Chains A and B, each alone.
Chain A
Amino acid sequence: MTDSVVVTGLGVAAPNGLGARDYWNAALAGKSGIGPLTRFDASGYPAKLAGEIAGFTAEEHLPSRLLPQTDRVTRLSLVAADWALADAGVVPAQLPEYGMGVITASSAGGFEFSQGELKSLWSRGGQYVSAYQSFAWFYAVNTGQISIRNGMKGPSGVVVSDQAGGLDAVAHARRQIRKGTALVVAGAVDALLCSWGWVGLHTGGRLSTVDEPTHAYLPFDDRACGHVPGEGGALLILESADSARARGAAVYGEIAGYAATFDGPEPGLRRAVELALADADLAPADVDVVFADAAGEPELDSVEAYALTTVFGAYGVPVTAPKTMTGRLYAGAASLDLATAFLALKDGLIPPTVHVEPADRHGLDLVVSQPRAARLRTALILARGHGGFNSAMVVRS
């Protein structure tokens, strides 16, 4: 099929691993990146845990020209994009510049950068605000900087739909490839673990205030009490199958189906699953594993479990939530789940959902504690964004 869109490269920055290989090893080992916040003094806030990325030194990866003009989220995005391109064996300078696009999702932009500039504005005056604030805060900044760094002038953009954005960006990239763009860098990295961002996250009302890292984020568990926020995500290299074949690229798999719905009187998640399967021309029985949205909030967990048991039957398909090891990464989360799904297909291993004792009433075959070996060909990834966004994506090896 000529309009098939495939993934040829993965770039991962996660709280439990930097780079796809480190992250995947950590995920299989059940290694969690959740711990007490260290970026600032969080003792005065209700929530005190986060999935922080440790050991990322931007100076080791990026030219100094980029540092004064970038927030942490953009630095992580630029490096994840570099890794994804290297993984795909793509040297952008050797490809037509209008044949490469960049489509990312974002839920906050460059929060920490803005916090610093606003502090300058209030304490010292407008002339102390950096000229780079004009774009460093902006939702589209990661797309822009990746595009400039790699000379990618094809169709580009940003989508903002909270965690659903991690799938929506990839879906939009698939559309652009079907319209003729050879390659798109797609996905999302989010990072807003500064004190200003922390205040904002609290307004959502869904943060866990439990102080013990192994008890704070327990989706589908009777003890579920909200989520732990994290930073990071993944960027993927999407190409038309023809283009990937022409340059002899190794392929992780195909973006086989996608759908997005919005909650109305009824939650829209189940419909998103059914429409994504229809788009992929697959039946529920064809799905080998589900990567859950895993809100960790009792009502939302029930909605997701109900959607899955309605489509697949009770205990009808293995379900996992490796984000229990990273916290919820907002726009970055679903892109990371997508990257994780491709790694799972490649190795025939479902990574575990850690620390969770699934409640029987949900009827889910949740993969807990240890990775599970399985013959994997097709995976379904779910993501919900705050305010009613639902997205579902089907990928196939």
Chain B
Amino acid sequence: MSRTTFTLDDLKRILLEGSGVPEGADLRADILDTDFTDIGYDSLALLETASRVEREYGIELDETVLGDATTPRAFVDAVGAHLSAQPV
């Protein structure tokens, strides 16, 4: 069964599973509007994260999501938009 909601907690969990925690980063802090690069995640970490989201949620993210979603808020919103566009 594919899931229908994607929250910041889901993103943190998948980041952690796929890419670990960057040195000195605190994922419990308010990171919603912090750039991924400032948290310590590079483009490859986002590629790995997107791939895991696609597998887990049974969706295909547009490649533009990776380029445009530079913060957790933007990433969560982009995935949410894909989920709501899915046929039920």
Contacts and interface: CB of A to CB of B under 8 A. Distances in A.
Interface of A: 63-69, 127-128, 130-132, 134
B21 A64 contact: yes
B75 to A, nearest CB: 15
Interface in B1-41: 16-23, 40
B54 interface: yes
A65 B16 CA distance: 8
A63 B22 contact: yes
A29 B55 CA distance: 53
B48 interface: yes
Nearest to B25: A65
Nearest to B17: A68
B48 A131 contact: yes
Interface residues of B, number: 16
Contacts of A66: 20
A274 to B, nearest CB: 48
A19 B22 CA distance: 26
A67 B16 CA distance: 11
B21 A63 contact: yes
A295 B20 CA distance: 41
A64 B40 CA distance: 12
Contact of B19 (A68, A127, A128, A134): A68
A65 B51 contact: no
Interface in B44-69: 44-45, 47-48, 51, 54-55
A63 B23 contact: yes
Contacts of A130: 18, 48
Contacts of B22: 63, 65
30 contacts: A63-B20, A63-B21, A63-B22, A64-B16, A64-B20, A64-B21, A65-B20, A65-B21, A65-B22, A65-B23, A65-B40, A66-B20, A67-B20, A68-B17, A68-B19, A68-B20, A68-B48, A69-B19, A69-B20, A127-B51, A127-B54, A127-B55, A128-B55, A130-B48, A131-B44, A131-B47, A131-B51, A132-B44, A132-B48, A134-B44
A63 B44 CA distance: 17
